[in-house]
Amino acid sequence: MRTLVFIPAWNEAASVRAVIDDVRERLPDADVLVVDDGSVDATAARAREAGATVASLPFNQGLGAALQTGYLYALREGYDFCAHLDADGQHPPAEVARLLAEVYADRADLVIGSRYQDGVGGRSTGAEGADEPEGGADYRPTLSRRIGTSLFRFFLTLATRQRFTDTTSGMRAANRRVMALFSENYSPDFAEIESLQLAVRQGLRVEEVPVRMLERAGGSSFLTPLRSTFFIFKGMIVLLVGQFRPRRAEAER
C-alpha cells in the first residue's frame, strides 16, 4: 500500500521546507511530492533539499491545476492513496494522518479536513498548552472569510444535500476513485468547492473530519474585500453550473 502526500506550492520558499520535514516525520511511509506552481523564488530548490520529489509547472496555473497535477501523478504512479496540504504551514501533518486513516479504513473516498466543525475534544481551544507541537497560533478566520464561508457552506449543502462546514479546505485525503475523477475533471478556477460538488454528484463518499489548523507561518491571505466579493460571486456561478453537469449514472448512459 503506497501513499503520496503532495503539497501545492507557489512562492513558498520560506515555509515549504519545514512543511516537508514535518510531513516526513509524521508520515514516514508516504512519498512526498511538491507541485511547484511556477514559483519564481527558490521553492523547488528548497523542496529538493528537503528530499521531496518536485513537479514544476513551467508557469503559474492556479491552485486547481496544481492540485490536479498531484492527483494525476498519484494516479499514474500507482499510489493507492493520496493526501494534500498547503505549503504555508497552516496544515499540521499530524492532522493529515488522521484524514488518511479514514480513507485507509475505507470509510470514505474523499476526506476533507474541516477547521470549523466542532467536536475535536477541545482541540481548537481547550488543550492548547498540553498539545501544541507545531508551536503556531490557532487559526482565526477574518470577518470577510467568515461571511464567504457561511455562504458557500449554505449553497454547497443545498447543492449536494450533504452538510459541509469547511468548503475551501485545502487539506484532503483520497483514494484511487477520487484520483481518477479529479485528474480528468478539476476546475482550474474554483478548485475546492466545485470538486466537492463533483465528487458528491459522482456518488463518491465524501466525509469531513474536524482538524486543527494554524495561522499561516508566512505571507498574507490573498483575499481583499473586493476579491472576496468576486470570489463569492464566482463560486455561486460555478455551483449553479455544476448542478447542470451530468451525474455519473446519466454520463455513463
In the complex, which residues of this chain contact another protein (CB under 8 A)?
31, 33, 35-36, 53-59, 61, 65, 68-69, 72-73, 76-77, 188
**Residue 54 belongs to what H/E stretch?**
strand 53-57
Query: Nearer Cβ to another protein, position 53 or 162?
Result: 53
Q: Minimum distance from CB of 61 to another protein (Å)?
A: 6
Query: Nearer Cβ to another protein, position 69 or 197?
Result: 69
How big, in percent rounded to 5, are the helix, strand and coil portions of the chain? 40, 15, 45
Place of cell 466545485: 194
- DSSP calls for 114-162: ESS---SSSTTTTTTTTS-SS-PPBP---HHHHHHHHHHHHHHHHHHSS
Q: Specify the amino acid at residue 32.
A: V
Query: Nearer Cβ to another protein, position 79 or 155?
Result: 79
Q: Minimum distance from CB of 42 to another protein (Å)?
A: 16
d(CA 141, CA 159): 24
Query: Nearer Cβ to another protein, position 33 or 211?
Result: 33
Query: Nearer Cβ to another protein, position 68 or 168?
Result: 68
Q: Minimum distance from CB of 58 to another protein (Å)?
A: 5
Query: Nearer Cβ to another protein, position 8 or 170?
Result: 8
**Residue 170 belongs to what H/E stretch?**
none
Q: Specify the amino acid at residue 189.
A: D
Q: Minimum distance from CB of 146 to another protein (Å)?
A: 32
Q: Minimum distance from CB of 186 to another protein (Å)?
A: 10
Cβ-proximal residues to 201 (8 Å cutoff; 6+ apart), any chain: 160, 242, 245, 247, 248
Query: Nearer Cβ to another protein, position 27 or 55?
Result: 55
Please answer whether residues 156 and 199 qualify as being in contact, where contact means their C-beta atoms are separated by less than 8 angstroms. Answer: no
Cβ-proximal residues to 229 (8 Å cutoff; 6+ apart), any chain: none
Q: Minimum distance from CB of 51 to another protein (Å)?
A: 8
Q: Minimum distance from CB of 79 to another protein (Å)?
A: 12
